[in-house]
Structure 1
Amino acid sequence: MTRPDPDLPAGVEVQPVWDPLLRTFHWLLAFCVVTTWLLGKFGPANMWLHFWFGYAIIGLVVFRLIWGLVGPRHARFTSFIRGPGAVRSYLGHMFRREPSYWPGHNPLGALSVIAMLAVLILQAATGLVSDPDDYINVGPLASEVSRSTSRAAVGWHHLGALAILILTVLHVGIIAFYRWWKREDLVRPMLTGAKLVRRRDER
Structure 2
Amino acid sequence: MAEASTSGATSLVRVWDLPTRLFHWVLALCVLGSVVSAKIGGNAMVWHMRLGYAVLTLLLFRLLWGLVGGRWSRFASFIYSPAAWLRYLRGRPQRGDWFEVGHSPLGALSVLAMLGWLVVQVGSGLIADDEIAITGPLVRFVSMDTSLAWTGHHKSWGQWLIYALVALHLLAIVFYRVVKKRRLVGPMISGDKVLPPEVPASRDSAATRGLALLLLAASAAAVAWLVSLGTL
1:50-65 correspondence to structure 2 within 5 Å:
50-65=48-63
1:43 paired to 2:35:
no
Aligned 1:114-129 pairs, distance under 5 A: 114-129=112-127
Give aligned-pair identity as a percent: 43
Runs of 4+ in structure 1 off by over 6 angstroms are none
Residues 1-203 of structure 1: matches in 2 within 5 Å? 10-40=8-38, 42-46=39-43, 47-93=45-91, 102-134=100-132, 136-158=133-155, 159-200=157-198
- CA distance in 2 between partners of 1:143 and 1:198 (Å): 55
> 1:73 Cα deviation (Å)?
1.1
Contact in 2 for aligned 1:130/1:138 (Cα 8 Å)? yes
Offset at residue 198 of structure 1 (A)? 4.1
Contact 2:88-2:99 at 8 Å conserved across structures: no
Residues 145-170 of structure 1: per-residue CA shift (max 9 Å, x gap): 11111100111112111111000000
Amino acid corresponding to residue 27 of structure 1 in structure 2 = W
Cα distance in 1 for partners of 2:148, 2:131 equals 8
Partner of 1:96: none
Contact 1:123-1:161 at 8 Å conserved across structures? yes
- Kept in 1, the 8 Å contact 2:9–2:196? The answer is yes
**Equivalent residue, structure 1, for 2:203:** none
Highest RCO, 1 vs 2 (Cα 8 Å, sep ≥ 6):
2
> What secondary structure sits across from 1:75 in the alignment?
coil
Distance 1:33 1:92, change over 3 A: farther
Q: Secondary structure at the match of 2:8?
A: coil
Q: Which amino acid aligns with 1:20?
A: L
CA contact under 8 A between 1:130 and 1:150: conserved in structure 2? yes
TM-score, length basis structure 2? 0.74
Counterpart of 1:5 in structure 2 is none
Extract unaligned runs of 5+ from structure 1.
1-8, 94-99
Alpha-carbon RMSD across the aligned residues, in angstroms, is 2.0
- What amino acid sits opposite 1:151 in the alignment? L
Aligned partner letter, 1:155 = G
The farther-off stretch of 166-175 and 100-109 is 100-109
Which residue does the alignment assign to 1:4?
Answer: none
Q: Distance in 2 between matches of 1:172 and 1:183?
A: 15
Partners of 2:127 and 2:135 within 8 A in 1: yes
Cα distance, 1:62 vs structure 2: 0.6
Decide whether the 8 Å contact of 1:101 with 1:198 is kept in 2.
no
CA contact (8 A) 1:102 1:198 kept: no
SS of 1:73's equivalent? coil
Residue 97 of structure 1 corresponds to none
Per-residue deviation at 1:144? 1.0
Report if the CA contact (8 A) 1:17-1:194 is conserved. Answer: yes
Distance in structure 2 (CA, Å) of the matches to 1:137 and 1:109: 36
Q: Distance in 2 between matches of 1:154 and 1:129?
A: 8
The count of corresponding residues between Structure 1 and Structure 2 is 185
